[in-house]
Structure 1
């Protein structure tokens, strides 16, 4: 099922790469540190870290983890913080010790954090102090024995801050001097457990080896060479890193790859503060920036962004979600540079495809397969589809993960018999070898038997001048099975639902046209900025439940009133009266003490009825208080 794409590569890109036979990620980064020792490697607010300091401090951390924490090669260490100077020190220190980095979203709740710590078996965690409450709640159920704390707004340099049992300031750990005994780490050893977003259940750890990461770095660096060569060697590239480093995109594309060129990574702890992010653009002569569609779009709608000096901008990389044409066009008009879009996943280190950086205008595709990468598009029966036909994108290459951590059942599902990883994304391949991501397989909407891909509807909506952003989901429809609903953030209240539907009707075939439009102040997003369609589907379900709840409680209240009325007239313990709700009997029983109980055979409506019956009682009490005057207790039971 392999696909040869040799004819599609730019002249400077090799058709194949060689999977590393020796070395590891830490070795590669140490070479960068020594080559650019006097340059600034990372900056955050007023703090800076040179490449020399990164080498020195990461060595001290590695010594501490091995000697004081008594960790052994292959043990897992979690890192839980936003973009801070401490992040690259932590990652490189962990890798130099032969340990495995477990990146953790700092916004995780205690439940989410516990799952990741338990699943990975992490024995230590390096965490920013403001997120300690979640850790304290999760910690008793984990095997974490060592907690290293770092502040949010101080340079990480040797100085004591805290002490305590199994807890120490990261600064104190960095004060421990000693010789680092070299740990033998080879390409097949695990470097990262990169946990997925958990959109189809509990998050799973993608097991990425040192070889996976190094191979993907080779693949990427070859492609972007013209961008890196755009500045003279003596000029330092400046990368604004607003995407979180715990995400595979920023970790590898911004931090690891740009270190190879001696770049300065400007770390942004809070990219949601768009005015502050614009100020960062104005402060630094940015030459490289990566973002997802919503971040590009948000910046374009932030006052002052069009006043930034983009004369040194060499590369604007887009990924994480499809970049919409309207956003790409506005970006190019403001910055003078097109967005170079690629495609990847946590499971693929991450890059699978990429457009050529000199392609000119935004193509709407995610480019071509990376060197040494085979892609096949499969239908529902696992048969390859023809060019121009949609199919699930399946990939095989040196950057594809070893598998999910301790999940043999999941691995059996996501890998084909011949080793292709099923991405769950629907794509189309064109005759020139480029790919376009149509949508997530699970997000596809089925309207009268026709496949509707939300990304297409969202792209049309985005082209309307009054639409800031939108998200499309399917809703149940008695006639067509499903219908299209779009949630919209608008720039003006003058835009009405019927106007947007009419606009879509002019640009889409009839079965794709939204039947419903709902305006929101903002759309739910992940910490990286991806729009969360699952949250919107949940909003629809809760809204439907609310309407059902209201109507059912009104109907049931009438039955409750009837039961109570009859119960007032009897003094013996007996079944007094029955009302029906959704064909299920509701029975009132009055005991001699005067207490009235309700018995309901709830069946599958149990959770709904637990809400409905108390409200029905309250509604009856409010409307007919005389019925309750002799009732000592009103309650309900389920049989």
Structure 2
């Protein structure tokens, strides 16, 4: 039996045939049969470019039906898909292309010239363009190919996707997710969240992130359901589409912005059976407001790049506001002390996980992989939590200082280095603080050499150097940073002090 995850998608797609798979926000409809044809053409095109099973295909393009089909085609032909945030600047791409060494780098046609030189420096064999309009060089190559392709036989432990994730020290790490781990996670969620061919998923998430790429999309593919595929989230547009949808997956920002719409009522969401939130903390007050407005509780779940979804509140059953639910099928969760010793229920400790959904390891970082796993094979998530006696998990914080803003991971050290390099800055510390819209807002606390230096000046200087989601939303100035006896900056003190910013200093 072929363990390639696309083989599972293919069985369902052939059964669905002409049924709609994906509908774009300009009204174009791609059927399941057309998806099979399109992925076959892209798979042939990649093969012509010399891509072999196990080669990396790096992709940095705007969200589109063609982009998603390229992802599926990469799986189908056994290569490894490497999504890159569309906000990454040239200096940020340097590291990813050098570390992953992709065979092909796919970008927007208008950016081919600028990015080809970068790719050449890192030995990338081909830089190809892909666009929603279908006029990119990869699109044109694919159009000339046959519409049939034998899905490549792959073992379950073969890597399907590498997604880079940041910690609090060192450079980003590529989490290797296998065909078996993605399939196990997708099947568990499809069943747990009750997906059927009658569902219509409102998909407004980006495709360079696990949430949009496979956590949501795979539920549709494994149930033969339909996706309303929006380029980005727009509250008014989503509001108009809710009567046609049954399920929506989003980040807390989506729900706070819906709540800001006067027209968002129980009546307009009456056809919706499920709202899911993840990728960042959903404030309890937001969920209570949502319940009051719609009569529904947003289903919270817990996941991470290294394991996709770990726990989830039930679709049918008790959804506890503030909790991220129970371990899904195929995943186990435990709480331990800092010596990896098991703690009893209702005690705060480190969250550790194991199971079929957990990554294979970090790309080309065997030492880091070994460091993150316990002697008995459990992955240390770096998060702190409490597990109730009936298995509901509540996240209370992170042992690491990773900031998750709008669902995206922000590596504080990277932002601190950029701030510290600015004229007039002595040193800085970057933290995340609770934010209604983004889950956490990136916040910089700065010691300045020049009293004339302002927060707006720092923010403007960082734009163009860093992706927008990494740029601080708030800047505060202090005479010195708080430190412990060992000289380590006490970020917990900073979070307590600046937990409720009202303005940029």
Conserved 8 A contact 2:204-2:231: yes
Structure 2 residue 409 is the aligned partner of structure 1 residue 440: no
Structure 2 residue 227 is the aligned partner of structure 1 residue 265: yes
Structure 2 residue 25 is the aligned partner of structure 1 residue 49: no
Cα deviation 1:264-304 (Å, max 9, x = unaligned): 21222222x433443444xx511111112222112211343
What residue is the counterpart of 2:290 in the other structure? 331
- 5 Å-filtered alignment, 1:194-593, equals 194-197=163-166, 199-225=168-194, 228=195, 236-271=198-233, 273-281=234-242, 285-306=244-265, 309-348=268-307, 350-360=308-318, 362-443=320-401, 529=438, 531-532=440-441, 535-536=442-443, 539-541=444-446, 544-546=447-449
* Alpha-carbon separation, structure 1, partners of 2:117 and 2:355: 40
Partner-residue secondary structure (3-state), 1:431: coil
Conserved 8 A contact 1:369-1:375: yes
Shift of 1:367: 0.8
What residue is the counterpart of 1:110 in the other structure? 90
Distance 1:97 1:372, change over 3 A: closer
Distance 1:130 1:264, change over 3 A: farther
Shift of 1:113: 1.8
What residue is the counterpart of 1:76 in the other structure? 56
* Alpha-carbon separation, structure 2, partners of 1:280 and 1:173: 32
Q: Gaps spanning 5+ residues in structure 2: where? A: 405-430, 454-505
Distance 1:308 1:45, change over 3 A: farther
Shift of 1:363: 3.0
Shift of 1:427: 0.5
Conserved 8 A contact 2:186-2:222: no
Structure 2 residue 156 is the aligned partner of structure 1 residue 187: yes
- TM-score, normalising length: structure 1: 0.62
Distance 1:487 1:375, change over 3 A: closer
Conserved 8 A contact 2:119-2:127: no
* Alpha-carbon separation, structure 2, partners of 1:89 and 1:70: 19
Partner-residue secondary structure (3-state), 2:330: coil
Question: Which structure has the higher relative contact order (CA within 8 Å, separation 6+)?
Answer: 2
Shift of 1:125: 2.4
* Alpha-carbon separation, structure 1, partners of 2:267 and 2:141: 40
Conserved 8 A contact 1:338-1:360: no
Partner-residue secondary structure (3-state), 1:392: strand
Distance 1:199 1:313, change over 3 A: farther
Conserved 8 A contact 1:109-1:134: no
Conserved 8 A contact 2:299-2:314: yes
Structure 2 residue 99 is the aligned partner of structure 1 residue 119: yes
Conserved 8 A contact 2:177-2:360: yes
Partner-residue secondary structure (3-state), 2:265: helix
Conserved 8 A contact 1:288-1:313: yes
Distance 1:530 1:112, change over 3 A: farther
Shift of 1:128: 3.0
Shift of 1:30: 0.8
Conserved 8 A contact 1:106-1:131: no
Distance 1:173 1:434, change over 3 A: same
Count of equivalent residues: 429
Shift of 1:531: 2.8
Conserved 8 A contact 1:78-1:104: yes
* Alpha-carbon separation, structure 2, partners of 1:487 and 1:194: 25
Partner-residue secondary structure (3-state), 1:219: helix
Partner-residue secondary structure (3-state), 1:305: coil
Output the aligned Cα RMSD: 2.9
What residue is the counterpart of 1:34 in the other structure? 14
Cα deviation 1:162-204 (Å, max 9, x = unaligned): 6xxxxx2414323322763553212111111111145544221
* Alpha-carbon separation, structure 1, partners of 2:56 and 2:170: 23
Which segment drifts farther, 427-436 or 247-256?
247-256
Cα deviation 1:216-275 (Å, max 9, x = unaligned): 1222223122xx36xxx6xx321111121221122223211112222221222222x433
Distance 1:296 1:178, change over 3 A: closer
Cα deviation 1:33-71 (Å, max 9, x = unaligned): 1111111111222222111110001011111211x2022
What residue is the counterpart of 2:3 in the other structure? 23
Shift of 1:151: 2.4
Conserved 8 A contact 2:4-2:152: no
- TM-score, normalising length: structure 2: 0.78
Cα deviation 1:109-162 (Å, max 9, x = unaligned): 11222211221111112323355466245323222222332224x3x4xxxx46
Cα deviation 1:530-551 (Å, max 9, x = unaligned): 534xx31xx212xx3256688x
* Alpha-carbon separation, structure 2, partners of 1:126 and 1:345: 25
Q: Gaps spanning 5+ residues in structure 1: where? A: 1-20, 163-167, 445-453, 456-484, 491-522, 524-528, 551-639
Distance 1:178 1:369, change over 3 A: closer
Conserved 8 A contact 2:167-2:400: no
